[in-house]
């Protein structure tokens, strides 16, 4: 009996030790995960702060100087700003869509990656339909603020942005917000809309969370003269979900 009691006490002590060890390990891992996430977000914020200092200033001609940005990375092709959000970044284009998914503007590995133009799109934004990607980061970093447009009140009150290129500038008019699968070719195959955007407009009317009916009607009357810029980021709404914002690119007219 004494031996059995001793063995039972030893077993209980061992179990208690294992439980305590597991709890300590879980606590240490949680602390590391929080530290690592904080480091990722801080790095993204630091890069943005550095880049904001180099943001091109639009001249009366509509163009802007990109010399400083191109000196940092010759893959910079534009600057995107969405008003009343944290989206205010240089746009890069790599050889593939994996080039800048985890690489910052300095060419260094970064979980936050960069805002980048689909590798199939025209670097000079001469296409009828162009597509930008950015990670969904906490605190609104990168394209994290796109999910704000999933709220109808925010979508209705915030419709403007700017796309700056070296030789011209576009005012962006936001006209639709969608949630789609990552495999949705209607959004993620930019080549199919170069000659005809009517199928895209049909898709918007059928699938969008919200859209501006007047803008869609105007786009149907332009006979391919309009240009559309799509912004994409990850969403937690469902498996492989993506939040999409569609904008009309309108040539900027200096006041």
Query: What is the rounded distance in angstroms from the CA atom of residue 85 to the CA atom of residue 68?
Result: 24
User: What residue ranges define each of the domains in the chain, with the CATH number in brackets?
Assistant: 67-251 (2.40.260.10)
Q: In the prediction, which pLDDT does 139 show?
A: 84
Can you tell me which residue has the tokens 């040539």? 251
**What's residue 34's pLDDT?**
34
The H-or-E segment that residue 160 falls in is strand 160-164
Helix, coil or strand: residue 220: helix
pTM (predicted TM-score): 0.83
If the chain, 255 residues long, is cut into consecutive pieces of 10 residues, what is the mean pLDDT of each piece?
A: 61 56 44 38 72 90 89 97 97 97 96 96 96 93 96 97 96 98 96 91 97 96 87 95 98 80
Query: What local confidence, expressed as pLDDT, does residue 29 receive?
Result: 38
- What CA–CA distance (Å, rounded) separates 235 from 239? 8
Cα-trace Rg, the chain: 24
Number of H helices, E strands in the chain: 6, 9
């Amino acid at each position: 009996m004494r031996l059995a009691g001793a063995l039972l006490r030893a077993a209980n002590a061992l179990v208690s030790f294992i439980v305590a060890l597991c709890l300590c390990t879980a606590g240490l891992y949680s602390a590391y995960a929080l530290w690592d996430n904080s480091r990722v977000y801080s790095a993204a914020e630091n890069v943005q702060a550095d880049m904001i200092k180099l943001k091109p200033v639009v001249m009366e001609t509509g163009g802007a100087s990109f010399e400083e940005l191109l000196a940092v990375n010759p893959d910079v092709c534009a600057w995107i700003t969405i008003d009343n959000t944290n989206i205010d970044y240089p746009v890069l284009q790599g050889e593939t869509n994996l080039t800048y998914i985890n690489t910052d503007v300095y060419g260094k590995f970064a979980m936050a990656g960069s805002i980048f133009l689909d590798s199939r799109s025209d670097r000079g934004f001469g296409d009828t339909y162009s597509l930008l990607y950015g990670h969904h980061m906490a605190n609104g970093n990168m394209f994290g603020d796109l999910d704000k447009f999933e709220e109808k009140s925010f979508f209705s009150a915030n419709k403007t942005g700017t796309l700056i290129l070296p030789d011209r500038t576009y005012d962006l008019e936001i006209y639709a917000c969608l949630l789609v699968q990552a495999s949705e070719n209607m959004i993620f195959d930019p080549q199919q809309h170069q000659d005809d955007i009517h199928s895209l407009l049909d898709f918007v009317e059928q699938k969008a969370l919200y859209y501006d009916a007047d803008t869609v009607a105007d786009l149907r009357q332009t006979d391919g003269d309009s240009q559309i810029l799509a912004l994409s980021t990850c969403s937690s709404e469902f498996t492989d979900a993506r939040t999409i914002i569609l904008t009309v690119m309108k040539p900027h007219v200096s006041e």
